[in-house]
Amino acid sequence: MDQQVKQLFSEFPPVTTSQWEELIGKDLKGADYEKKLIWKTNDGLSVRPYYRAEHLADIPWVKAYPGDFPFVRGNKALANNWLVRQDIPVDDLREANEKALEILMKGVDALGFQFSCKKSYSSDDIELLLKNIRADIAEINFSGVSDALALVKTMDKLVRKYNRPLDKIYGSVNFDPVIRLSRRGVWYQQEEHDFAVAYDLIQASKALPHFRVLGVNGHVFANAGATTVQEMAFTLAAGSEYLTRLTDKGLFIGEVAPKMKFNLAAGSSYFMEIAKFRAMRLLWAQIVNAYGLNDARNGRMFIHATNTAWNFTVYDPYVNMLRTTTGTMAALLGGVDSFAVLPFDAPMGHSSAFAQRIARNQQLILKEESYLDRIADPAAGSYYIENLTKMLADEAWKLFLTIDAEGGFVEALKKGSIQQQIKQSAAVRDQNLATRKEILLGTNQYPNFNEKIAATLPESVFLPEDKTSGDAVIETIKTYRGAMGFERLRYKTDRFAQDNRRPLAWMLTYGNLAMRKARSNFACNFFACAGFEVVDNPGFASIDEGIAAALAVKPEIVVICSSDEEYAGHAAHAFQALKEHSIVALAGQPVGVTDELKALGMNNFIHIRSNVLETLQQFQQKMGIV
């Protein structure tokens, strides 16, 4: 038998990069390569249309193994198992306990108890909450705790009382005074006091090696509109703040770093998110190593992730399930340690049992049926993802060093530089949504024409979450959803329509079949984003026939839809005939005709360069909705 091993496709001659580029140049036929094929991210990174083996030459970790320093390929040497987590609001202790026991039987192996920070809980309360829950089998996490130190001491007491093996206890307390400062503008009590509590937490949890007592809530930045690089750099800077403050208090880096858990958000930019989690571990390992590691394992970053709420929508909420599936897959392939899928109805407040079940099962399917837990770092060696990882790591490191030069995360917060950067990036993203450079399906593009919200929703659903304390000493970071502007717009229409006729946008279509269909489709989607009723028409034989039909219907808005050539003369005639009965708009912005129509007093033009949000707000004002 022939024992020779042949390389796959070796019968084909190799093709060089220059040959590929030459062929691409021919196919572009003179078009600008940069504009057509280079993707510019929100961070200004230039992503090539393709990558080859040669692009791995400068990436040092490609020959590293999973589980090895700098952990870019994950914390685990074998497989990719993660914990399936579900969070439980603790309004009633017994109900929360029953809920926990129920979901532990449905595939969940990590619990997140969400307390109200305004309440205090005794040791007996915590014991009741954890009744019949094996702390050595399920990971137990606490957030919103008013007294983190007391809770850690209670956990230590309870696991000893029930004779649980201390090295089998996994979980966390989300004590994070640094990010609290960024959200509320104040410390828990006082700066030095809060870091002293962090020191005490580490000392109190020494007997529980896998119980993490410091949280770094980087998801705040993603949910405030930060770019990926900003999210990474600010999160790392916040984490580094703890390392500096606590080692200054005499703790060794090997005592501090393993006691930290990073709570991050997963967006829907699939490959970018995979690269983000890999790059975060890489950079954190380098940062921790700079403090003098004696054990490489202490350089691991422990990541719990959930889906970002920034791209969640109230309208067409089932689309949120598609967004969370994409983000969840990216985070899991990126090697997070635990994940909680955000229920699709999360923007409405408390989620329904149905939404929670779907959220649970989304990642259970990814584990049990898609086998994403079987292979460690499945993205390894991908020319594209490895290069994205390097780009994000390089840019985030630059920004991290800038923050470090300002004196660290807290000093940068006090100066307002972090808040300013986030506000600037959020403003760009908001503008991109308003102009449809960035799409939120069902919100600023392809809305469900028939969807209406009849229920009265609290105003908070459509407003940023502002946790600023009355005695805040700095400007705070506010989280919000990108869809809020469009949702406020549409909800106003829904409320208006409860006592009035729902505004109708009616298409006056004539002339060239392809152009009138394209423009009427565009206009229908455009006006449906505001919750207006839309009526498309198959096409009138003449402009006068269309005018007569419009006069019979008397819609609030008439949209003229045809080709640029056929607008000449006809559009002005239609405007003159209809302007006293309806708001007349034109689909397109034809050269010459636009000026003629403006001279006649027509100012309503919708086209691909329109600011959709502002334009629709103007239509609402004209109809007295706002």
Residues 472-508: tens digit of each pLDDT: 999 999 999 999 999 999 999 999 999 999 999 999 9
Residue pair 597/575 in contact (Cβ under 8 Å)? The answer is: yes
Q: Which tokens is 90 given?
A: 């603790």
Whole-angstrom distance, CA of residue 179 vs CA of residue 360? 28
Where residue 565 sits, what CATH number does that domain have?
3.40.50.280
Q: Considering the domain boundaries, does residue 305 fall inside one? A: no
User: Any residues with CB less than 8 A from the CB of 441 and at least 6 apart, and which?
Assistant: 316, 319, 322
Top-ranked range on mean pLDDT: pick from 239-243, 345-349, 567-571 = 239-243
Whole-angstrom distance, CA of residue 238 vs CA of residue 221? 11
> What's the mean pLDDT in 152-166?
95
pLDDT tens digits, residue range 185-217? Answer: 999 999 999 999 999 999 999 999 999 999 999
Tell me: pLDDT of 117 over 90: no
- Predicted local confidence at residue 147, as pLDDT: 95
pLDDT tens digits, residue range 35-84? Answer: 999 999 999 999 999 999 999 999 999 999 999 999 999 999 999 999 99
Residue pair 210/254 in contact (Cβ under 8 Å)? The answer is: no
- Predicted local confidence at residue 11, as pLDDT: 84
pLDDT tier for residue 88 given thresholds of 50, 70 and 90: very high
> What's the mean pLDDT in 238-244?
98
pLDDT tier for residue 626 given thresholds of 50, 70 and 90: confident
Whole-angstrom distance, CA of residue 364 vs CA of residue 331? 14
Backbone angles phi, psi at 600, to 5 degrees: -85, -5
Q: Considering the domain boundaries, does residue 37 fall inside one? A: yes
Tell me: pLDDT of 1 over 50: no
- Predicted local confidence at residue 542, as pLDDT: 96
- Predicted local confidence at residue 116, as pLDDT: 86
| Short-list 263, 143, 245, 152, CA closest to 191 | 245
- Element spanning 228, H or E: helix 228-248
Q: Considering the domain boundaries, does residue 343 fall inside one? A: no
Kindly state the percentage of the chain with pLDDT values over 90. Answer: 96
Residue ranges in 105-190 assigned as alpha helix (H): 123-129, 148-161, 177-184
Q: Which tokens is 519 given?
A: 């423009």
Q: Considering the domain boundaries, does residue 21 fall inside one? A: yes
The full DSSP string for 260-324 is: EEEEEEE-S-HHHHHHHHHHHHHHHHHHHHTTT-SSGGGGPPPEEEEE-STT--SSSTTHHHHHH
Is 542 buried (19+), middle (13-18) or exposed (0-12) by CB count in 10 A?
A: exposed
Looking at 31, 60, 89, the residue that finishes a domain is 60
> What's the mean pLDDT in 333-350?
95
Task: Write down the mean pLDDT value for the chain.
Answer: 96
Q: How far apart are the first and last CA of the chain?
A: 82
Q: Considering the domain boundaries, does residue 45 fall inside one? A: yes
Whole-angstrom distance, CA of residue 123 vs CA of residue 153? 9
Beta strands 260-266 and 39-40: pairing type? Answer: unpaired
> What's the mean pLDDT in 115-119?
84
Overall domain count for the chain: 2
pLDDT tens digits, residue range 445-455? Answer: 999 999 999 99
Whole-angstrom distance, CA of residue 45 vs CA of residue 97? 47
Question: Which domain, by its residues, includes 28?
Answer: 17-60
Whole-angstrom distance, CA of residue 483 vs CA of residue 485? 6
Q: Considering the domain boundaries, does residue 303 fall inside one? A: no
> What's the mean pLDDT in 330-354?
96
pLDDT tens digits, residue range 554-588? Answer: 999 999 999 999 999 899 999 999 999 999 999 99
Sequence-ordered strand ranges (E) for 532-587 = 533-535, 557-561, 583-587
| Short-list 169, 171, 393, 146, CA closest to 261 | 171
Q: Considering the domain boundaries, does residue 238 fall inside one? A: no
pLDDT tens digits, residue range 267-323? Answer: 999 999 999 999 999 999 999 999 999 899 999 999 999 999 999 999 999 999 999
Q: Considering the domain boundaries, does residue 109 fall inside one? A: no
| Short-list 539, 503, 540, CA closest to 620 | 503
Looking at 60, 77, 95, the residue that finishes a domain is 60
Residue pair 444/272 in contact (Cβ under 8 Å)? The answer is: no
> What's the mean pLDDT in 111-119?
90
**Model-level pTM?**
0.95
- Predicted local confidence at residue 143, as pLDDT: 97
